[in-house]
């Protein structure tokens, strides 16, 4: 008697389904469309191609990932005279629709300037401030964001890591330049948030692959995680976040005295306190006298709008989570993380569980709907599979170690950028920070850029510009316009 075959295990079925999805994407032909946009008084006609790029280790063998790129190329332009800019967002776990349809691309999703949720219906319109005036634009969705995918669990584990992600995107760029015969073009990168962590690493990695970068644009810097992660025995973020807290507090009318006069006054007062006193207060710890502790608690309360009692209760250390829930508790509101001007209602129980970020909640779903409409109706991409705008499982499973997995410490790619700046005398950097960003505060970015291990003449190639909105400052019309002007001035240097 022949025994019946054992049923396939759930893991086997999942692996089979993943492989089927992967092979289907690999075989998907590129989607083509055309369009035009008027920029700087000129009508620019473009071809747009959405394609899935295979990524094989070292460019050899079987593909381990298939990564979606959406590329806009000016019709009739020669490679030697038309730069290309590869752009990506962060997370890790974010697709590239934010930069694509928020700031850089020829089409844009328009949202209210104050960070509130727009009204339906959601769509895109011509972007008169698109960076397409200066570059051909290639937007990249990293593995397991958007529709991009790895071939199997082993490849997923490898690429959902700091170094694996850098290697994968470097290969995408190398292959794109080859397939489109663009090795003669100046090459730029633009990354946002974790995309700056990635971008700093790519600046050095691409040099190894023979790709010379002309410029790197860092939007909302996160190159040094120690500066933005509140963790035991890491006092650095408490000092670096204080000026941003003061700026947001002034916006919400929580300050009194001279620091309440303007956002600039609030920032200047907090920056001065951090430099002159607060760093020493944090370092002293329990060695502070009662008088010193009382003086510090009073000043921190004045700069944040929080009560002196709360500051003392928190041992003179105000973490981001504390600020989000306590700053406007008297009004029953939570302060946004990625957009400090935004607020959301607390539950009736007034708990302190972080359920959602008002700073991203207002725009995430509208951006998704606008992007899905654009991809399907204008680019002809009609997949039933969900497009992962913010892949939480990617973020939760990210391997933050570099090299040897047993290495201790916070992830940092600023040494990669410093090395790239020293290796490439033509590389220049433009950093952009929103003053109401409480995820990657402008003041933390100031610190991170100031720590680059480069001599003064090299540091002169690094510029930092500031805007009066949050993490995605380009959602505010005035900042979108200013970013474009700052970009043009930077390119001209």
Tell me: the pLDDT tens digits for 285-304?
A: 999 999 999 999 999 999 99
Q: Other C-beta atoms within 10 Å of 201: how many?
A: 28
Residue listed under structure tokens 């001007």:
341
Confidence of residue 6 (pLDDT cuts 50, 70, 90): low
Element (H, E) at 10: helix 10-26
d(CA 175, CA 202): 15
Q: How many CA atoms lie within 13 A of 187 on its CB side?
A: 21
Extract the runs of DSSP E, i.e. beta strands, from 149-252.
149-150, 187-192, 213-219
Whether residue 427 contacts residue 203, with contact meaning beta carbons closer than 8 Å, is answered with yes
Tokens of 421: 């700046």
d(CA 55, CA 48): 21
Q: How does pLDDT run across 81-99, given as a tens digit for each residue? A: 899 999 999 999 999 999 9
Whether residue 70 contacts residue 95, with contact meaning beta carbons closer than 8 Å, is answered with no
Extract the runs of DSSP E, i.e. beta strands, from 153-274.
187-192, 213-219
Q: How does pLDDT run across 342-401, given as a tens digit for each residue? A: 999 999 999 898 899 998 998 999 999 999 999 999 999 988 899 999 999 999 999 999
Query: For all residues of the chain together, what is the average pLDDT?
Result: 94
Range 117-121 average pLDDT: 91
pLDDT at residue 212 tops 70: yes
d(CA 114, CA 374): 25
Confidence of residue 57 (pLDDT cuts 50, 70, 90): confident
**286 DSSP assignment:** G
Of the ranges 6-10, 279-283, 376-380, which is most confident?
Answer: 279-283
Cis peptide before 92 (omega within 30 of 0): yes
pLDDT at residue 267 tops 90: yes
- Could you report how far apart the first and last alpha carbons of the chain are, in Å? 82
Between these two residues, 124 and 403, which has the higher pLDDT value? 124
Confidence of residue 410 (pLDDT cuts 50, 70, 90): very high
CA-based nearest residue to 47, from 383, 440, 378, 481: 378
pLDDT at residue 3 tops 60: no
Cis peptide before 223 (omega within 30 of 0): no
Range 119-126 average pLDDT: 94
Range 110-132 average pLDDT: 92
d(CA 417, CA 197): 10
- Give CA 272 to chain center in angstroms: 28
Confidence of residue 407 (pLDDT cuts 50, 70, 90): low
pLDDT at residue 408 tops 80: no
**DSSP letters along 4-60, please?**
PPPPPPHHHHHHHHHHHHHHHHHTPPPEEEEEEEEETTEEEEEEEEEEEEEE-GGG-
Residue listed under structure tokens 């011509």:
126
- Give CA 485 to chain center in angstroms: 21
- Report the SS3 class of residue 467: strand
Extract the runs of DSSP E, i.e. beta strands, from 172-315.
187-192, 213-219
Extract the runs of DSSP E, i.e. beta strands, from 348-471.
428-434, 462-467
pLDDT at 1: 41
Range 406-419 average pLDDT: 89
Whether residue 161 contacts residue 142, with contact meaning beta carbons closer than 8 Å, is answered with no
Range 426-435 average pLDDT: 98
Confidence of residue 61 (pLDDT cuts 50, 70, 90): confident
**Ramachandran angles phi, psi of 142, nearest 5°:** -60, 170
pLDDT at residue 15 tops 90: no
Least confident segment among 179-188, 272-281, 348-357, 402-411: 402-411
pLDDT at 382: 83
Percent of the chain with pLDDT over 70: 97
- Report the SS3 class of residue 94: strand
CA angle 98, 102, 105 (to 5 degrees): 100
pLDDT at residue 448 tops 60: yes
Confidence of residue 2 (pLDDT cuts 50, 70, 90): very low
Burial of 365 (0-12, 13-18, 19+ CB in 10 A): middle
CA-based nearest residue to 69, from 168, 141, 136: 141
């Amino acid at each position: 008697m022949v025994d019946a075959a054992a049923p396939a295990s759930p893991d086997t079925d999942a692996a089979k389904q993943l492989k089927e999805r992967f092979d289907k994407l690999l075989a998907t032909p590129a989607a083509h469309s055309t369009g035009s946009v008027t920029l700087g008084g000129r009508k620019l006609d473009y071809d747009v191609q959405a394609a899935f790029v295979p990524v094989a280790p070292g460019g050899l063998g079987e593909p381990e990932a298939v990564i979606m790129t959406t590329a806009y190329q000016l019709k009739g332009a020669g490679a030697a005279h038309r730069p290309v800019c590869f752009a990506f967002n962060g997370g890790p776990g974010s697709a590239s629709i934010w930069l694509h349809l928020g700031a850089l691309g020829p089409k844009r999703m328009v949202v209210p300037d104050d960070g509130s949720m727009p009204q339906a219906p959601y769509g895109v319109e011509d972007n008169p401030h698109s960076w397409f005036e200066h570059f051909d634009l290639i937007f990249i969705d990293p593995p397991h964001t958007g529709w991009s995918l790895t071939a199997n669990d082993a490849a997923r584990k490898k690429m959902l890591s700091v170094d694996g992600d850098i290697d994968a995107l470097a290969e995408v760029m190398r292959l794109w330049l080859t397939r489109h015969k663009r090795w003669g073009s100046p090459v730029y990168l633009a990354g946002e948030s974790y995309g700056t962590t990635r971008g700093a690493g790519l600046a050095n990695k691409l040099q190894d692959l023979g790709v010379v970068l002309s410029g790197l644009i860092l939007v909302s810097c996160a190159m040094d995680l120690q500066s933005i992660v509140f963790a035991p025995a890491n006092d650095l973020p408490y000092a670096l976040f204080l000026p941003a807290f003061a700026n947001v507090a002034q916006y919400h009318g929580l300050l009194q005295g001279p620091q309440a006069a303007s956002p600039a006054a609030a920032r200047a007062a907090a920056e001065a306190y951090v430099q002159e006193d607060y760093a020493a207060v944090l370092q002293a710890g329990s060695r502070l006298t009662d008088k010193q502790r009382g003086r510090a608690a009073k000043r921190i309360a004045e700069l944040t709008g929080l009560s002196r009692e709360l500051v003392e209760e928190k041992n003179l250390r105000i973490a981001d989570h504390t600020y989000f829930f306590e700053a406007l508790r008297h009004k029953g509101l939570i302060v946004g993380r990625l957009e400090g001007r935004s607020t959301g209602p607390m539950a009736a129980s007034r708990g302190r569980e972080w359920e959602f970020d008002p700073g991203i909640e207002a725009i995430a779903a509208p951006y998704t709907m606008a992007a899905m409409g654009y991809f399907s109706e204008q680019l002809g991409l009609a997949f039933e599979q969900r497009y992962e705008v913010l892949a939480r499982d990617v973020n939760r499973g990210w391997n933050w170690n570099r090299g040897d997995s047993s290495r201790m410490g916070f992830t940092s790619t600023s040494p990669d950028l410093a090395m790239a700046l020293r290796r490439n005398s033509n590389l220049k950097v433009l950093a952009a920070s929103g003053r109401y960003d409480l995820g990657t505060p402008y003041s933390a970015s100031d610190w991170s850029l100031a720590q680059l291990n480069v001599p003064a003449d090299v540091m002169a190639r690094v510029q930092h510009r500031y805007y009066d909105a949050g993490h995605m400052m380009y959602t505010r019309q005035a900042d979108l316009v200013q970013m474009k002007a700052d970009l043009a001035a930077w390119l001209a240097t």
